[in-house]
Amino acid sequence: MRIGEWMRGLLLCAGLMMCGVVHADISTVPDETYDALKLDRGKATPKETYEALVKRYKDPAHGAGKGTMGDYWEPIAISIYMDPNTFYKPPVSPKEVAERKDCVECHSDETPVWVRAWKRSTHANLDKIRNLKSDDPLYYKKGKLEEVENNLRSMGKLGEKETLKEVGCIDCHVDVNKKDKADHTKDIRMPTADTCGTCHLREFAERESERDTMVWPNGQWPAGRPSHALDYTANIETTVWAAMPQREVAEGCTMCHTNQNKCDNCHTRHEFSAAESRKPEACATCHSGVDHNNWEAYTMSKHGKLAEMNRDKWNWEVRLKDAFSKGGQNAPTCAACHMEYEGEYTHNITRKTRWANYPFVPGIAENITSDWSEARLDSWVLTCTQCHSERFARSYLDLMDKGTLEGLAKYQEANAIVHKMYEDGTLTGQKTNRPNPPEPEKPGFGIFTQLFWSKGNNPASLELKVLEMAENNLAKMHVGLAHVNPGGWTYTEGWGPMNRAYVEIQDEYTKMQELSALQARVNKLEGKQTSLLDLKGTGEKISLGGLGGGMLLAGALALIGWRKRKQTRA
C-alpha distance across the termini of the chain, in Å = 115
Contacts with 94 (C-beta within 8 Å, 6 or more apart), sequence order: 184
Is residue 47 within 8 Å of 156, Cβ to Cβ?
A: yes
Whether residue 362 has a cis bond before it, omega within 30° of 0:
no
CA-based nearest residue to 23, from 10, 39, 9: 39
From 358, 396, 422, 509, the catalytic residue: 358
CA-based nearest residue to 451, from 286, 291, 221: 291
Distance CA 539, CA 400 (A): 59
Helix (H, G, I), strand (E, B) or coil at 545: coil
Distance CA 56, CA 37 (A): 8
Distance CA 45, CA 205 (A): 13
Residue 187 is among the residues annotated as catalytic for this protein:
no
DSSP 108-156: HHHSHHHHHHHHHSSTT-HHHHHT--TTSTTTHHHHHHHHHHHHHHHTT
Element (H, E) at 98: strand 97-98
Contacts with 152 (C-beta within 8 Å, 6 or more apart), sequence order: 158, 164, 176, 177, 198, 199
Distance CA 132, CA 229 (A): 33
**Does the annotation place 19 within a ligand binding site?**
no
From 83, 232, 292, 298, the catalytic residue: 292
From 212, 257, 341, 502, the catalytic residue: 257
Distance CA 287, CA 337 (A): 15
Q: How many secondary structure helices (H) and strands (E) does the chain include?
A: 28, 4
Residue 291 is among the residues annotated as catalytic for this protein:
yes
**Does the annotation place 23 within a ligand binding site?**
no
CA-to-CA separations, 487 to 95, 355, 395, in angstroms, rounded: 58, 20, 19
**Does the annotation place 13 within a ligand binding site?**
no
Helix (H, G, I), strand (E, B) or coil at 77: coil
CA-based nearest residue to 96, from 188, 179, 167, 173: 188
**Does the annotation place 172 within a ligand binding site?**
yes
Phi, psi of 145 (to 5 degrees): -65, -40
**Does the annotation place 107 within a ligand binding site?**
yes
**Does the annotation place 478 within a ligand binding site?**
no
Element (H, E) at 344: strand 344-345
Rg (CA), the chain: 31
Distance CA 551, CA 356 (A): 52
**Does the annotation place 270 within a ligand binding site?**
yes
Residue 257 is among the residues annotated as catalytic for this protein:
yes
Distance CA 53, CA 24 (A): 12
**Does the annotation place 62 within a ligand binding site?**
no
Is residue 229 within 8 Å of 367, Cβ to Cβ?
A: no
From 40, 180, 491, 534, the catalytic residue: 491
Distance CA 567, CA 570 (A): 5
From 187, 194, 264, 291, the catalytic residue: 291
* Residue numbers belonging to the annotated binding site for heme c: 103, 106-107, 123, 169, 172-173, 184, 196, 199-200, 228, 253, 256-257, 263, 266-267, 270, 283, 286-287, 303, 334, 337-338, 347, 384, 387-388, 483, 491
* Residue numbers belonging to the annotated binding site: 103, 106-107, 123, 169, 172-173, 184, 196, 199-200, 228, 253, 256-257, 263, 266-267, 270, 283, 286-287, 292, 303, 334, 337-338, 347, 384, 387-388, 483, 491
* Residues known to be catalytic: 257, 291-292, 358, 491
* Residue numbers belonging to the annotated binding site for hydroxylamine: 292
